[in-house]
Structure 1
């Protein structure tokens, strides 16, 4: 009996692994395939599944966690995968019309999505709110990276934070474990990239802007924030000022 149970468990594990592999290698159906598949579902069924997808994204959005297509299909879409493009089309429209959010694919190779707030904008560029203490911490880190040309060694970040009386080696009353927030939480949220520097002993890392930061953070607003932090006018950093204003998106688009 025990051996049979082990064999059954092994078979179930194989099936689960195969399903997960299928999710990872999911091929998006063509328009004609979707149209044929839609005949197997009512419009209400597709709307209900769309609502589940929207809810899944919104839950992840609360913690700024990116969504992988493979996880979305495995955990939510499931047997509706043949009409996945139609579900995503309806979900995208709902995000924009109801929630003022834009669905963005930040990784086309691994199909990873995030939601960007379209309502809070500065000069046409969405930007994150500074009302949350962790967001202020993030702005400091992004600001240092921006001011230093786009990439910095982690040691520089820790030294600057210490000058601001935020010691990464101690538990902070508002941020908690500062190093973990920066190198884990902000990285998972795609605000930062934390990359190992080759051939360093002891091991060192460098920090860069992540994909979400490039989509959500206005460099003009960030430079204003750094000016307030250092009691200087943004124009006093002439190179960064030029970069910030040249990176602003055009407002001529009607999209």
Structure 2
């Protein structure tokens, strides 16, 4: 009897795992079922709706973006279509155009696509100076200050660093990843989870390492929002050196600063 129960539990567990896996796969493939409507499809869709209906749906999309932006979480097109746009998907391009105009004219924000493959969007402050004086330098936000330090280390080390270097650097700044911080809480969760979800950082497993090791790189949002020339200025002040003394980093910072504008990633 107990053997049958164990067998039943095992089957139930494996079935649950299969269902969970199928659900995750479905979530991942949601966007593949969505095809961007053509101009003629949008026009036909608009004819079936009242201006008030279109305005209401646009307002819902704007609200969805603003809620996500509070936590700096990129918006996936698949999620947007599934949870907000829904039956209005035939006029998706028109809704996005109107939402973009609202962000621009009402909020001073610019909606940009940071990941063309997975169709992910973020909002950036278009009122910031074009040279990248970003909100990350704001002294009123300690968490962004923490991120700025991490991005600086990665940039100065050639664009990719092992995670141990980051943890050791933070320890020197009295931010010990092994202890709960009074300001940030769980440091490793903030850095390797929150900053990664926000697309400021990439956290990548290094193949064939035992025990498993990871490395950090700049994320897509950082490429758009953060000025490498500002990082060099910061490092120059910190070490009392001319930023040009780091010749490789100086060339990289100035090669992208002129070409990378809010709205296009340097990747």
Q: TM-score range by the shorter chain?
A: 0.7 to 0.9
Is 1:140 the counterpart of 2:153 in the alignment? no
CA contact 1:153–1:207 (8 Å) conserved in 2: yes
In 1: Cα distance, 2:69 partner to 2:103 partner? 12
Q: CA deviation at 1:28?
A: 1.2
In 2: Cα distance, 1:251 partner to 1:218 partner? 9
Q: Aligned match of 1:109 in 91, 110, 117?
A: 117
Is 1:184 the counterpart of 2:197 in the alignment? no
Is 1:41 the counterpart of 2:49 in the alignment? yes
Q: Aligned match of 2:237 in 228, 232, 236?
A: 228
Q: Which residues of 2 match residues 7-22 of structure 1 at below 5 A?
A: none
Q: CA deviation at 1:251?
A: 9.5
Distance 1:126 1:58, change over 3 A: farther
Is 1:55 the counterpart of 2:63 in the alignment? yes
What's the CA shift string for 1:140-177, capped at 9, x where partnerless?
Answer: 00000000010000011111111111111111111111
Q: Which residue of 2 aligns with 1:82?
A: 90
Q: Which residue of 1 aligns with 2:135?
A: 128
In 2: Cα distance, 1:93 partner to 1:138 partner? 30
Is 1:98 the counterpart of 2:106 in the alignment? yes
In 2: Cα distance, 1:210 partner to 1:144 partner? 14
SS of aligned partner of 2:199: coil
Query: Runs (4+) of structure 1 moved beyond 3 Å?
Result: 19-24, 228-233
Distance 1:43 1:245, change over 3 A: same
Distance 1:246 1:173, change over 3 A: same
Runs (5+) with no aligned partner, structure 1: 1-12
Q: CA deviation at 1:234?
A: 2.4
Computed over aligned residues only, the root mean square deviation of the Cα atoms, in angstroms, reads: 2.2
State the TM-score, normalized to the length of structure 2. 0.82
Q: CA deviation at 1:111?
A: 1.3
CA contact 2:224–2:260 (8 Å) conserved in 1: no
Q: Aligned match of 2:208 in 199, 203, 222?
A: 199
Q: Across the two proteins, how many residue pairs are aligned to each other?
A: 236
What's the CA shift string for 1:16-59, capped at 9, x where partnerless?
Answer: x7x96655511111001100110011112111110110010011
State the TM-score, normalized to the length of structure 1. 0.86
CA contact 2:133–2:230 (8 Å) conserved in 1: no
Q: Aligned match of 2:168 in 150, 159, 166?
A: 159
Q: CA deviation at 1:233?
A: 3.7
Q: CA deviation at 1:237?
A: 2.1
Q: CA deviation at 1:96?
A: 1.3
Q: CA deviation at 1:98?
A: 1.5
